[in-house]
Amino acid sequence: MVDFAPGRCRRAAAVLAASLCLSACAVGPNFVPPEDPPVGRYTKEPLQNPSAADKIRTRQGGSADQSFVSGADIPGQWWTLFHSKALNRLVEQALANNPTLEAAQASLRVAQQNVLAQKGTLYPSLTATPQIQGAQAPGLDLQSPLNNQNQYLYSLSTPQAVVSYNPDVFGGNRRQIESLEATTENQRFQLEAAYLSLTANVVAAAIQEASLRAQIDATRKVIQAQTEVLQLYNKQLSLGQIAGADVVQQQAALALSQQLLPPLEKALAQQRNLLTALAGRLPSDEVSETFDLAALRLPTRLPVSLPSRLVQQRPDVKAAEALVQQASATVGVAVANRLPQFSLTATGGSSATRIAQVTSPGAAFFTIIGQATAPIFDAGTLFRRQRAAEESLTVAQAQYKATVITAFQNVADALRALQADAKAVAAADAAVSATNQSLGLIRKQYTAGAITSSQVLIAQQGYLSALVTSAAARATQYADTAALFVALGGGWWNRADVAPPPPEKDPLKFL
């Protein structure tokens, strides 16, 4: 005789479920991380340190003062290498208040919760379904369930619980969990990318502000010099020493220089708005920090990670790798959907016409149902979905390769830019010094009557151009230095300022 006692049935169901889990396998491809590119350097020839042409050196942060340190690590707070307290404060404000970073953090938490939710499908679910039913028994020859056969109205109390379980025999649920975990990994590196992008934008905006201030200062100096020359010309005109055409020519030169100032001031105002927005503020609450090139110190020793480490450091490469794993797991899900699906359902409880009788042994009942479903004909729908998933995996793999190529290109571009910047800064600084000396000599010659006013104007324009070019060249060198740190990954792996997730608030989260 077979014993259908509830206790033994529950134990049998548990043993069956455990055996199914242990024998289960996850169909589909197993993800293998891509191999690192087999290269030993970023440029065609061995990397050379930035050096100035003709051994020209600058007075401030340029030329051969920079050097590449191969294999050195990047600090988590790389912007501190510029030694600007104002820049450090502004970056801290941006990290604390920027809503884009807050949104990226929330997106990561969404992905983490989705993983935990999907993991719940690996376990049985328990549902309580108590029921109280009022009924009327039929008449004629049918009997009432009550002792009094003349009483046809009765209540039936049925407290019961249903345990349902879908054994993950072919690993479809586990592949789905793997896919969601890969999505979480992608969101994690999307957060790191948002962190890096935010800090890079703040540094770039600060450097651009410093460049604009230098250009405005240079333009104002030239305007002041041209104003002084115009005053001198007016005095000489009143004495009959020069013609009126010389005065008009100088007025035109002054007006052209004055035209350069409003666009620069406009750009500076907009740059201030950008810095304020990056700090998470409205334009009316402008940040107090200001920047100029003299307050920024150019990093002299630039860490350059080994090429074999780049793919592990770049957030965009790691995010693309996670998408490959996600696509790989999706193939497994598609394969599992074409195979039989199993389910177990157990129901236990009691049923009695009186509440006091529901605990009696005679009122108890227990059922267990096993079910299997398998697709037989679906016009190729599931097969085509599997093929689509496989092609999506090919897409993700190709996009990963493209991301890696772009990463190496970014580093190579930054290295080449810094090599060119050294020469540009040194040459621009030498041009400022030479044109300034030339302008001084030409002014003396003009005062002595040895040359014409047109030669003075040409010298002034040369000096103006040299000042603006020098400021732009120095700012470009600062910006390209920051770009190198960003291209190498920004040192996120050395950060210790990641905000912890908010505490769980639901006391019934496991129910």
Global confidence as pTM = 0.82
The torsion defined by the Cα of 394, 397, 401 and 402, in degrees rounded to 10, comes to 60
Distance, in Å, from the CA atom of 304 to the CA atom of 100, rounded to the nearest integer, reads 29
Specify the 3-state DSSP secondary structure of 215: helix
**Mean of the per-residue pLDDT values for the chain?**
84
| pLDDT tens-digit readout, 135-191 | 665 654 555 555 555 555 667 777 778 888 888 888 899 999 999 999 999 999 999
Amino acid sitting at position 253 = A
Q: What pLDDT is stored for residue 271 in this prediction? A: 95
Q: Are strands 160-165 and 125-128 parallel, antiparallel or unpaired?
A: antiparallel
Q: What is the mean pLDDT of residues 215-241?
A: 84
Task: Tell me the CA distances in angstroms from 232 to 147, 237, 285, 453, one per residue in order.
Answer: 127, 9, 45, 11
Q: How confident is the model at residue 500 (pLDDT cuts 50, 70, 90)?
A: low
Q: What is the mean pLDDT of residues 106-129?
A: 90
Q: Are strands 301-304 and 67-70 parallel, antiparallel or unpaired?
A: parallel
Q: What pLDDT is stored for residue 362 in this prediction? A: 73
Residue 132 has pLDDT above 80, yes or no: no
Q: What is the mean pLDDT of residues 411-434?
A: 91
Q: How far is CA 422 from the centre of its chain?
A: 31
Question: Of 15-29, 69-83, 138-152, 293-307, where does mean pLDDT reach its minimum?
Answer: 138-152
Judge residue 432's burial from the number of C-beta atoms within 10 Å of its C-beta, 0-12 exposed, 13-18 middle, 19 or more buried.
buried
Q: What pLDDT is stored for residue 130 in this prediction? A: 80
In 3-state terms the chain splits into helix, strand, coil percentages (rounded to 5) of 60, 10, 30
Contact 460, 254 (CB under 8 A): no
Distance, in Å, from the CA atom of 263 to the CA atom of 287, rounded to the nearest integer, reads 22
List, as one string, the DSSP characters of 71-136.
Answer: TPPPPTTGGGGG--HHHHHHHHHHHHH-HHHHHHHHHHHHHHHHHHHHHGGGS-EEEE--EEEEEE
Residue 58 has pLDDT above 60, yes or no: no
Of 405, 404, 411, which Cα lies nearest the Cα of 490? 411
Q: What is the mean pLDDT of residues 39-48?
A: 88
| pLDDT tens-digit readout, 392-407 | 999 999 999 999 999 9
Contact 23, 44 (CB under 8 A): no
Q: What is the mean pLDDT of residues 426-440?
A: 89
| pLDDT tens-digit readout, 260-304 | 899 999 999 999 999 999 999 999 999 999 999 888 999 989 999
Phi, psi of 372 (to 5 degrees): -135, 135
CB atoms within 10 A of CB 289: 19
Q: What percent of the chain has pLDDT over 70?
A: 85
Question: Of 44-48, 90-94, 178-182, 477-481, where does mean pLDDT reach its minimum?
Answer: 44-48
Contact 168, 22 (CB under 8 A): no
Q: Are strands 341-350 and 364-373 parallel, antiparallel or unpaired?
A: antiparallel
Distance, in Å, from the CA atom of 106 to the CA atom of 251, rounded to the nearest integer, reads 60
Q: How confident is the model at residue 60 (pLDDT cuts 50, 70, 90)?
A: very low
Contact 482, 202 (CB under 8 A): no
Question: Of 32-46, 56-70, 98-112, 172-186, where does mean pLDDT reach its minimum?
Answer: 56-70
Backbone dihedral region of 280: left (phi > 0), alpha (psi from -120 to 50 degrees) or beta? left
CB-based contacts of 25: which residues, under 8 Å, 6+ apart? Answer: 170, 171
Q: What is the mean pLDDT of residues 220-239?
A: 84
Distance, in Å, from the CA atom of 397 to the CA atom of 404, rounded to the nearest integer, reads 11
Contact 87, 291 (CB under 8 A): yes
Q: What pLDDT is stored for residue 449 in this prediction? A: 78
| pLDDT tens-digit readout, 314-373 | 999 999 999 999 999 999 999 999 999 888 888 877 777 677 666 777 777 778 888 888
Distance, in Å, from the CA atom of 297 to the CA atom of 194, rounded to the nearest integer, reads 26
Of 125, 165, 128, 159, which Cα lies nearest the Cα of 13? 165
CB-based contacts of 355: which residues, under 8 Å, 6+ apart? Answer: 157
Q: How far is CA 242 from the centre of its chain?
A: 65
CB-based contacts of 489: which residues, under 8 Å, 6+ apart? Answer: 74, 196, 305, 310, 313, 314, 315
Q: What pLDDT is stored for residue 22 in this prediction? A: 43
Q: What is the residue whose two structure tokens read 């390769």? A: 401
Q: What percent of the chain has pLDDT over 90?
A: 45
Q: What pLDDT is stored for residue 309 in this prediction? A: 92
